Chain A
Amino acid sequence: MPYTPELKELIKIVEKTRPERVAKKRNGEEIPFLSLDERKKRLDFHPDFKTEGRRELKVGPSKGYGIAHEIADLLEAGSRVAPEKVNLSEPAYETDVLVIGGGGAGTSAAILASQHGAKVIMATKLRHGDANTMMAEGGIQAASKGHKDSPYYHYLDVMGGGHFTNVPELAETLVTSAPDAIRWLEHLGVNFTKKADGTLETIHGGGTSRKRMHYAADITGAEIMRTIRDEARNLADKIQVLEFSPAVELVLNEHGQCAGAVLYNMETQEYFVVKAKAVILATGGCGRLHIQGFMTTNHYGATADGIVLGYRAGVPVSFLHTVQYHPTGIVFPEQAEGILITEKFRGSGANLVNVEGNQFVNEREPRDVEAASIIKECVHDGLGVPTPTGRLGIWLDSPMIEDLAGEGTVKREFPGKYILYKRFDIDISKEPMLIYPTLHYQNGGLEFKETGETRVPGLFVAGEVGGGIHGANRLMGNSLLDIIVFGRIAGTSASAYIENGVKDGKLTLEHVVKYNAEVAKAGITDGRVAPAIIPNYTEAEVRSRQLTANYIGNVR
């Protein structure tokens, strides 16, 4: 979908102010950065700071903790299936380790658990590898170059990025395990971009003090995911993968240990039980809940299922009040909606300008400040650019880069995005991009320790579903790292836990029965169920005609 005639008219306004803006940029005249006080004020417009955007939880181990309505709606909901209907005495599968989630964290965990001798079942909602891991473009951090970097500096950067709120032990484990994680991936055959002598290429990311962002061209996550998936598939005799089988409840045993899960075959609509000696939750994040109505960079299955499961089983949530919005997501054309436009565009000089062709913020403020400024400009000040799909956006003036650094720079430096837009008949070296903040990452999640353990014995956590590593804000390149490091740790810990001897016991869903009662007691009677499993994008009008459709939550 190329720009419409209306948008082309609006682009003329941007073109009119461009020569002056380019001249200023050349002369080093910048819009001043906000002072710390101004920043604080500006952040009032950030979704995290919007008090009406969240509420205190009425039930569960973190009762009283304020989080986004969209997540609260799921935590304050009943089970999808009545616990008493589930036949716990005849599990369909028995295994040592059940890994829930088939992304980067789950796959790493499954490989490590099987290497330590455990029999593994990996249950995944969509296909093996359908995960945000696949979508990560930028890179993976690790202090791999001893002449200028070390885990100490990586630690400082992680803590600073998280506004010094991170759990120190988690951050320490992340940075000290990072080089070994990269080595493991290199060994398994990930094609990191390297110099001819094998030296890994590394670049800066937002908030890094040293260049430690390793990458595989501009598809780092996909390259990692397909490589470890291939390895897991080679271990098919030890790792059984159940696709299109999301978990809807964790199963405990009479000793209070986690002992499996209830899975749902989305295609045949059967529920069945997997009995396991240990369970690893690696279900990822929540982008598809569209918190506060935001579009998202996340994959289709990012609906926070693991948070719901773990919370019901007794694990508190931590840092879940903060969500990361990437300031520049594509808002038009619609087919690319939510897709990330890398910070590198702004680093290369492209201004953010409003519908009148004017700048309103320095383009190199921190992510949260930048996002808040864009939202303020569109929503509060009414200076957003209306899109043909009924949204508002801001121009990211990419043609400036051509003026500043010479013709052909955009195509050379941003081949992926150049081609993406070219498919829509938009040449971003000549026309600006329309962007708006996009929901990117769940900073918080289930509380867990650096060993991957949770408060529930036998239940381990890895990846985006866990909270605390990144504090209130994650830096670029630390999520791919997180899933590999803590995926491997969870796999190792779970198998060690089993080796130390697990008491067999009667399976129970009593915790779900109690939770349902708590929900009812809190006066929540609208029949909401969770987990969400998949989003529902059916138009209200169409839904109104689906007279015999039986929706359970989102799922028809």
Chain B
Amino acid sequence: METATLTEKVAAKTIPIYIMGKKYEVPETLTIMKAMEHSGYQYIRGCGCRGGVCGACATVYRKAGDYKIYTGLACQTVVEPEMYLTQIPFYPANRAAYDFESAKPTAETVYELYPELFRCVACNSCTKVCPMDVEVLDYISALKRGDLTAAAEISFDCIQCGLCASRCMGEMAQYHMAQVARRLQGGKIAPKAEHLEKMCGEIDAGTFTDVLAEAKKMTVDELKKVYTERELEPHMGADEWTPASNFGLA
């Protein structure tokens, strides 16, 4: 970002970290991801969106003198002195293929695809390890009791990084089960949007063909005029708002 970089780059204090057991001195302000790059690593695996939503950079670490396992996303977690880290860019997980069209929106669909669901002993390791603070055990519990809607809601922030599966003593791949639940919820349990269906029908019937053909023929100045004069739906108004003119509407 040279357009806004100060001429003298401020030298940040460095701290020691251990990448897979090997010591590196890195600036204390960096994320784990940038610290690894700073140290000379170039990512192929283990790096994706760099914004905390894709699940590519799951990282496991411990701190000196502490038995606990800590987890985080490498792109979101700032380095700490004496942290011992490794990334888990891939973890094998059983995924059952299914035909979504014919799948029934019931718990049995999930049970048949993933009978190992019942291997859960509620040890809660999945929830403890989740870098997104998803209550994994809670959605697994919801699936066991057949509540797909709850499972879909509780698992909504899941980024499918696989850390839960890596720690599961039941050897399950929780996040694949949650994906089935969310799709059944979104596609088959939640009520359909009727207004959407209606609009698709209007478009198929050619309701807007002529008015769009006119618009496409307009000169830039003509277009600017209708653009400027178009009615604006108020920000704070209700969904039911209707424009004064029904020109161009179905």
Give the interface of A toward B (CB within 8 A): 1, 47, 126-127, 129-130, 132, 134-135, 142-153, 155-156, 159-160, 164, 168-169, 172, 175-176, 179-180, 182-183, 186-192, 194, 196-200, 202, 204, 209-211, 217, 219, 222-223, 226-227, 230-231, 233-234, 236, 244, 266-267, 290, 292-295, 297, 299-301, 331, 333-336, 338-339, 347, 375, 378-379, 384, 386, 388-393, 420, 423-424, 436, 534, 536-539, 542, 546, 555-556
Q: Is the CB of A538 within 8 A of B188?
A: no
Cβ distance B34 to chain A, nearest Cβ, rounded Å: 7
Interchain CB contact (< 8 A) of A152 among B152, B195, B211, B231:
B211
Which of B14-22, B58-66, B218-226 is near enough to bind chain A?
B218-226
Q: What 0/1 readout, one digit per residue, does chain B (220-238) give for beta carbons within 8 Å of chain A?
A: 1001101100111101000
Interface centre among A230, A378, A546 (most CB of B within 10 A): A230
| Given A146-B195, A155-B215, A388-B29, A375 and B4 contact (CB-CB distance below 8 Å) | yes
Give complex CA distance A388, B160 in Å. Answer: 33
Task: Give chain B residues whose Cβ lies under 8 Å from the Cβ of A388.
Answer: 10, 12, 29
Kindly identify which residue among B10, B77, B197, B227 contacts A183, using a CB–CB cutoff of 8 Å.
B197
Report whether B224 and A335 are in contact in the complex, using a CB–CB cutoff of 8 Å. no
Q: Is the CB of B4 within 8 A of A391?
A: yes
> What would 11 more interface pairs be, CB under 8 Å, given A160-B227, A186-B186, A537-B42?
A47-B3, A130-B54, A144-B195, A151-B208, A164-B227, A168-B216, A186-B196, A188-B183, A244-B44, A293-B1, A436-B1
Least Cβ distance of B50 to chain A in Å?
A: 6
Pairs A–B under 8 Å by Cβ, sample size 22: A126-B47, A142-B196, A147-B242, A148-B249, A150-B207, A150-B211, A151-B212, A156-B227, A176-B208, A186-B186, A189-B183, A191-B156, A192-B186, A209-B230, A222-B53, A234-B99, A244-B44, A294-B3, A334-B31, A379-B4, A388-B10, A392-B6
* Cβ contact within 8 Å between B51 and A144: no
Complex contact A148–B243 (CB within 8 A):
yes
Contact A198 B249 (CB under 8 A): no
For the complex of A and B, the 10 pairs showing the least CB-CB separation, nearest first, are: A189-B183, A189-B187, A198-B191, A152-B248, A293-B2, A191-B186, A335-B31, A189-B186, A390-B9, A537-B37
Assuming the contacts A146-B202, A420-B52, asked whether A186 and B192 have C-beta atoms less than 8 A apart, the reply is yes
- B49 at the binding interface (Cβ < 8 Å): yes
Contacts of A391 in B (CB 8 A): 1, 4-6
| Bound complex: CA A198 to CA B186 (Å) | 11
Contact A189 B100 (CB under 8 A): yes
* A221 shortest CB reach to chain B, Å: 8
Q: Would you give the shortest CB distance from B246 to chain A, in whole angstroms?
A: 9
- Contact (Cβ within 8 A) A126 B215: no
CA–CA, A24 to B177, complex, Å?
A: 53
Interface residues of B in 128-180 (CB under 8 A from A): 152, 156-157, 159-160, 179-180
Asked whether A135 lies within 8 Å of B54 as measured between CB atoms, the reply is yes
- Judged by a CB distance under 8 angstroms, whether B193 is at the interface is yes
B63-112: which residues lie under 8 A (CB-CB) from chain A?
A: 75-78, 95, 97-100
Is the pair A1, B215 in contact by a Cβ cutoff of 8 Å?
A: no
* A234 in contact with B187 given A147-B242, A299-B49, A388-B29 (CB within 8 Å): no
B223 & A150 in contact (Cβ 8 Å cutoff): no
Partner of A179, one of B6, B100, B199, B211: B199
Q: Specify which of B50, B54, B78, B241 is in contact with A148 (CB 8 Å cutoff).
A: B241
B121 at the interface (CB under 8 A from A): no
On whether the beta carbons of A293 and B5 are closer than 8 Å, the reply is: yes
With contacts A169-B216, A179-B199 known, is A148 near B242, CB below 8 A? yes
Contacts of A336 in B (CB 8 A): 76
C-alpha spacing A217/B152, complex, angstroms:
13
| A164, B224: Cβ atoms closer than 8 Å | yes
Q: Tell me if B249 and A146 are in contact (CB < 8 A).
A: yes
